[in-house]
Structure 1
Amino acid sequence: MKNKIFLYLFVFAALVALYQFISTNNMQKAMTADVEGLKNEVEQLQDSVQKSQLKILDMQYFTLENNDDALAYYDHLNLENPSRYIEDKLLETNEPSGDNPLIPYEGMESDFKINKIKVLNHKWILADFSDGKFWGDLIIKYELKDDLSIDFTLLDHLLYARSN
């Protein structure tokens, strides 16, 4: 009788050990698959971040902030952010009532105002204008003088055809 109990205990212990081994093996395979999936996801995110950084660098190529040669023109003026100063001065040309004098069109829905501005270098600006329904683009030449006044000259303009 004693031998049968030991035999049953041995068989039971062997079955528990076998169950533990198979269960642990399956859990290890699942965790390995999860880790591999996460590694692939991290690689994709790193590629996405790298592509985004390259896009940002590409978009910043034509900006005053990233053009040391153009910024050298303003070293003697001691402006902390020349691009922001120029943008503010251009926005000041928006009349409180009436069209902006740099825009060669009359507003159709309301007054044309300059909305977005990109200072390309020490001479040129791209600007977007709109009256709320119609919009267009401007290429503006500017000259920042030693007394911090700015002369703006319209070089070219475009009013987009409204599509319904």
Structure 2
Amino acid sequence: MKNKIFLYLFIFAALIGLYLFVSSGKMAEAKDATIEKLETDIVELKDSVQKAQLQVLDMQYFSLQNNDDALAYYDHLNLEDPSRYIADKLLETNERKGDNPLIPYEGMESDFKINKIKLLNHKWIITDFSDGKYWGELLIKYELNDDLGVDFTLIDHLLYTRSN
């Protein structure tokens, strides 16, 4: 009887060992598959980050902040951030009551005001303007004087029309 108990215990232990062996193999396969998937996800993520970085660099190409030659134009003025200074001066033209004086259109819903500003280089700015319903864009030439005054000259403009 003692021998039968040991035989049953041995068979039971062997079955448990076999079960653990098989289940650990399947678990290892599942973990390997998960690791491979994560590795491919990382590669795809790296590719998408690289594409996004290239897009950002492409969008920043026409920008005063990234144009060392244009920024050198302002070295003698000792301005910490010429882009911000010029954009602030342009936004000050919005403070006048009524339409912005640089916008050659009369606001239809309210007054036309400049919203977005992009300094292209040390001479040109492109802006977006709106009255809340209608919008357009301006191409502005500017000159930053030695006394830190800024002269703005409208080069071209457009007003988008709605087609209803």
- Report the TM-score, using the length of structure 2 for normalisation: 0.96
What is aligned with 1:147? 147
CA deviation vs aligned residue, 1:57-103 (integer Å, no higher than 9, x gap): 11111000110110011000000000000000001111442111110
What is residue 89 of structure 1 aligned with on the other side?
A: 89
Q: Distance in 2 between matches of 1:90 and 1:50?
A: 35
* Bigger shift: residues 111-120 or 32-41: 32-41
Query: Offset of 1:6 from its aligned partner?
Result: 2.3
Aligned match of 2:22: 22
For 2:51, give the aligned amino acid.
K
Aligned to 1:59: 59
- Which of structure 1's runs of 4+ aligned residues deviate more than 6 A? none
- Point out the more displaced range, 71-80 or 91-100: 91-100
> What is the alpha-carbon distance in structure 1 between the residues aligned to residue 66 and residue 95 of structure 2?
31
* More moved, 87-96 vs 75-84: 87-96
Question: What is the aligned partner in structure 2 of residue 125 from structure 1?
Answer: 125
Q: Tell me how far 1:3 sits from its aligned partner.
A: 2.5
Whichever residue aligns with residue 81 of structure 2, its letter is N
Q: Percent identity?
A: 74
Residue correspondence of structure 1 range 6-17 to structure 2 within 5 A: 6-17=6-17
AA partner of residue 43 (structure 1): V
Aligned to 2:99: 99
2:2 equivalent in structure 1:
2
Q: Which runs of 5+ in 1 are unaligned?
A: none
Question: In 1, Cα distance between the equivalents of 2:95 and 2:69?
Answer: 33
What letter corresponds to residue 69 of structure 1 in structure 2? D
Judge which range, 70-79 or 42-51, deviates more: 42-51
Q: Distance in 1 between matches of 2:96 and 2:102?
A: 14
Q: For residue 45 of structure 1, report the CA deviation from its aligned partner.
A: 1.4
Number of the residue aligned with 1:114: 114
TM-score by length of 1: 0.96
SS in 2 for 1:94: helix
Q: Secondary structure at the match of 1:111?
A: coil
Could you list the runs of 5+ residues in structure 2 that have no partner in the other structure? none
> How many angstroms does 1:42 deviate by?
1.5
